[in-house]
């Protein structure tokens, strides 16, 4: 069936595809299915989809992905952390408690921690009225649930999600993460495809970061050139919470990420960073929305990218300061370098401010590589190729250098540089690079 048909026929199709769920989730799904059919497949007449091309996926025939076997998962992990392997967005192992963290499939969580799931599930995703959120809510058959109870302290989680692209599949990942007050959580997430077929993926993530908690997340997506992932991430930051998100859409036909950060507590700090480098006919699409709803909160958006070939990069950054959210500091910066005549970047800032005592700024630049700087370096004996590379590496490092963890910084630098050098192949490369990292850690 065509991907678009799953949208139009959602109310009829979902009951057989989405698994068995308690009534409160069934109801949410039922409503989402109706909304999906009503809104239909995303189209260019919608402001949010005006510049994103879904042509390659709209009429592609895809089957729903299940729990695929036989994917070589390699070793995608670093070491001392809670490891979560997933296939097509679903954790492989049953429920576990490790280092105080309770995690496993969402379908298990509704059995073990029903009150918690009912309290938090779907509470944030209504921030977006985009059909992809409805679509994902309709069809997800399972997902990842992570609960970090009070008193856990510092913990690191690493997940790796292998996408089966040996055949044309659609997959719909779902995550619910609850971080109770005062904990420090670092979560890394690797997505990678295996196989050359097209895949059409969606993911909806809801993250609750409670009072005084620290939550840092790092994402890398490494798909083949014909796969798409549309990911919506919703984050709620309570009083004095600290949230850092780093995203590196490395390779994929379409990598679209929406982040909705809802700052509900005073003095919360949210830093969102991203670096993209689409090549060929790839598209990256970052849609960032930060809502300040409390006094004295801070947010910073830093997104940069290199666009080559016929690739396209979209950035849409929004800052909303709600009435009463005084002493808000909110910043946004988007910089693009076009490396070819056919590369395109569209950058759109949007500030909506309903409080008077605030400090907000945004800036956006798009241009080609500075010829004067290239000449300057060549005048010092550095070849054109090496000078260009130094500049591109340097440009990327302005984001990568913000990563507080040294090993993650190194790993990301290696991946991004490989992408810049045209040396990053889809799939397994990301694991090979990570293994190298393991070696260097044991030196």
CA Rg value for the chain: 21
In the chain the first and final C-alpha atoms are separated, in Å, by 51
Identified binder of other proteins from the candidate list 47, 341, 372, 406, rule CB under 8 A: 372
Q: What is each CA distance from 338 to 309, 311, 313, in whole angstroms?
A: 9, 9, 10
**Could you tell me which residues are beta bridge partners of residue 286?**
257, 315
Identified binder of other proteins from the candidate list 93, 167, 196, 384, rule CB under 8 A: 384
Among residue numbers 387 through 406, which ones bind other proteins (CB under 8 A)? 387, 390-391, 393-398
Identified binder of other proteins from the candidate list 386, 428, 432, 441, rule CB under 8 A: 386
- Toward other proteins, which CB reaches closer, 81 or 373? 373
Is 378 a binding residue for other proteins by CB under 8 A? The answer is: yes
| 127 secondary structure, DSSP code | G
Shortest separation between residue 387's beta carbon and other proteins, angstroms: 8
Identified binder of other proteins from the candidate list 116, 382, 418, 433, rule CB under 8 A: 382
Asked if 295 and 327 touch (Cβ cutoff 8 Å), the reply is yes
Is 409 a binding residue for other proteins by CB under 8 A? The answer is: no
Neighbours of 263 (CB within 10 A): 30
Neighbours of 214 (CB within 10 A): 18
Shortest separation between residue 443's beta carbon and other proteins, angstroms: 17
Among residue numbers 311 through 370, which ones bind other proteins (CB under 8 A)? 370
Among candidate residues 407, 439, 392, the one with its CA nearest the CA of residue 218:
407
Q: From 31-39, 194-202, 324-332, 379-387, give the range in contact with other proteins by CB under 8 A.
A: 379-387
Q: What is the spatial distance between Cα 203 and Cα 223, in angstroms, rounded to a whole number?
A: 15
Indicate the helix (H) or strand (E) that contains 36.
helix 23-39
Shortest separation between residue 377's beta carbon and other proteins, angstroms: 7
What is the secondary structure of 330-362 as a DSSP string? EEEEEEEEE-STT-EEEEEEEEEE--SSEEEEE
Identified binder of other proteins from the candidate list 23, 371, 423, 439, rule CB under 8 A: 371
- Toward other proteins, which CB reaches closer, 94 or 381? 381
Interacting residues toward other proteins by CB under 8 A: 370-373, 375-384, 386-387, 390-391, 393-398
């Amino acid at each position: 069936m065509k991907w678009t048909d799953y949208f139009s026929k959602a109310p009829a199709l979902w009951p057989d595809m989405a698994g068995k769920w308690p009534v409160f989730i069934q109801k949410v799904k039922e409503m989402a299915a109706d909304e999906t059919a009503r809104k239909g497949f995303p189209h260019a007449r919608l402001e949010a989809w005006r510049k994103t091309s879904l042509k390659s996926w709209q009429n592609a025939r895809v089957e729903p992905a299940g729990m695929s076997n036989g994917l070589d998962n390699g070793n995608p992990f670093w070491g001392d952390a809670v490891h979560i392997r997933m296939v097509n967005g679903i954790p492989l192992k049953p429920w576990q408690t490790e280092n105080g963290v309770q995690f496993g499939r969402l379908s298990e969580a509704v059995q073990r921690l029903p009150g918690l799931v009912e309290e938090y599930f779907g509470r944030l995703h209504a921030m977006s009225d985009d059909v992809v959120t409805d679509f994902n809510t309709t069809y997800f058959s399972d997902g990842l649930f992570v609960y970090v109870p009070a008193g856990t302290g510092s913990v690191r989680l690493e997940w790796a999600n292998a996408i089966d692209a040996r055949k044309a599949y659609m997959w719909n990942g779902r995550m619910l993460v609850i971080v109770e007050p005062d904990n420090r959580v670092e979560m890394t997430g690797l997505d990678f495809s295996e196989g050359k077929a097209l895949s059409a993926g969606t993911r909806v993530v809801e993250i609750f970061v409670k009072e005084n908690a620290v939550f840092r997340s790092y994402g890398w997506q490494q798909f083949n050139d014909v796969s798409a992932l549309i990911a919506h991430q919703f984050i709620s930051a309570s009083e004095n919470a600290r949230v850092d998100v780093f995203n590196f859409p490395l390779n994929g036909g379409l990598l679209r990420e929406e982040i909705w950060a809802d700052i509900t507590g005073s003095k919360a700090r949210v830093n969102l960073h991203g670096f993209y480098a689409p090549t060929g006919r790839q598209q990256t699409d970052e849609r960032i929305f930060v809502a300040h709803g409390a006094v004295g909160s801070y947010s910073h958006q830093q997104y940069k990218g290199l666009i080559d070939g016929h690739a396209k990069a979209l950035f849409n950054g929004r800052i909303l300061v709600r009435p009463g959210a005084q002493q808000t500091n909110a910043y946004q910066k988007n910089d693009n370098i076009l490396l070819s005549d056919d590369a395109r970047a569209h950058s759109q800032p949007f500030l909506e401010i309903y409080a008077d005592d605030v400090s907000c700024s945004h800036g956006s630049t798009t241009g080609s590589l500075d010829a004067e700087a290239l000449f300057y370096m060549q005048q010092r004996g550095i070849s054109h190729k090496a000078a260009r590379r130094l500049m591109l590496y340097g440009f990327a490092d302005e984001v990568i250098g913000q990563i507080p963890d040294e090993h993650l910084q190194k790993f990301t630098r290696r991946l991004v540089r490989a992408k810049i050098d045209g040396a990053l192949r889809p799939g397994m490369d990301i694991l090979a690079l990570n293994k190298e990292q393991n070696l260097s850690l044991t030196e």
